[in-house]
A and B are shown apart, each in its own frame.
Chain A
Amino acid sequence: MSDVSLPASRRDFLLAAGGAAAGVALASVVVVRPALATPATLQEAIGKVVGTARVSAGRVKLELPPLVENGNTVPLAVRVESPMTETDHVRAIHVFAEKNPQPNVLGVFLGPRAGRASVSTRMRLADTQTVIAIAELSDGSFWSDRADVVVTLAACLEEP
């Protein structure tokens, strides 16, 4: 009897747990407020880029896998909604990691000749954490997106 009911309940549990995790991820994506609840070094690094300007949520799409087995190479893509014209384009895209030894990951500088504001690369993640992408537009405004990543094998730990 339990042979039948056990897998079913396990499946139910996994479904429920997955749903809850997705809910948490969704909630944290909606509340984008880089000024809050992040370590001081990260704030300092972001401050060097944005100065005193306000960073709004939206227009930027940061793509990272939600679950990473190996933190040594994690594919990452950033796309920014922009017509990329002479008067309205993305000037720079910066990526920050919350719990790596250094907050800076990548700084990209482009212009109207890029045609499309998108960049992809592979990064290291030292721990389960939040990654933040901030785009600077030609009108001086800043937009951001963040992604939560769960890392099972961290980078920077292995011995050579």
Chain B
Amino acid sequence: MASALIRVPERARRGEVIEIRGLIGHPMETGYRRTQHGERIARDIVRLFTCTYNGTEVFRAELHPAIAANPFIAFSTVATESGTIALHWSGDNGFTATESAAIVVE
């Protein structure tokens, strides 16, 4: 299971723009590298990253092999209501990971 790190402010004022950061441990193998014997290493990347805010998708990113290993993404969203912010990663070879954090909006 891949390790994921997520950073969401614990509290925010209603309507405030908050920054969310997500980092996941993943090699992001490009598919262009070769072993010392010349065999090509198969591609293995995280292809899709989404963020849901109480179940509603607020951000989506399509990743390509040009994203560095252990993909890090920071973006922003408006704090609308208290609840859960969840980040989802999915990719090659059936890779999926989810990490969520609670936020209190006052």
Q: A residues touching B (Cβ–Cβ < 8 Å)?
A: 72-74, 97, 100-102, 104-111, 113-116, 118-125, 155-156, 158-160
Asked if B71 CB lies within 8 Å of chain A CBs, one says: yes
**30 pairs from A and B in contact (CB 8 Å cutoff):** A72-B68, A100-B66, A101-B30, A101-B32, A105-B66, A106-B63, A106-B64, A106-B67, A107-B62, A108-B61, A108-B62, A110-B60, A113-B56, A113-B77, A113-B78, A114-B58, A114-B76, A115-B17, A116-B17, A116-B76, A118-B75, A118-B76, A119-B61, A120-B75, A121-B73, A121-B74, A155-B68, A159-B33, A160-B33, A160-B35
B32 in contact with A156 (CB, 8 Å): yes
| A102 and B64 contacting across the interface, CB-CB below 8 Å | yes
0/1 string, B30-43, CB within 8 A of A gives 1 = 10111110000100
CB pair A105–B17 under 8 Å, yes or no, is: no
B97 adjacent to chain A (CB < 8 Å): no
In the complex where A105-B66, A105-B67, A110-B59 touch, is A119 in contact with B74 (Cβ < 8 A)? yes
Q: How large is the interface on B (under 10, 10 to 19, 20 to 34, 35 or more residues)?
A: 20 to 34
Does B104 interact with chain A (Cβ within 8 Å)? no
Interface contacts beyond A109-B60, A122-B67: sample of 15 additional A-B pairs, CB < 8 Å, sorted by A: A73-B68, A102-B65, A106-B63, A106-B64, A107-B61, A109-B61, A113-B58, A113-B78, A114-B58, A114-B78, A115-B77, A120-B72, A121-B68, A121-B73, A159-B35
- B53 on the A face (CB < 8 A): yes
Instruction: Give A72 to B32 CA distance when docked, in angstroms.
Output: 13
Q: Does B100 make an interface contact (CB < 8 A)?
A: no
A119 → chain B closest CB, angstroms: 5
CB-contact partner of A108 in B32, B35, B56, B75, under 8 A: B75
Cβ contact of A97, chosen from B62, B66, B76, cutoff 8 A: B66
Task: Answer yes or no: B102 CB below 8 A from chain A CBs.
Answer: no
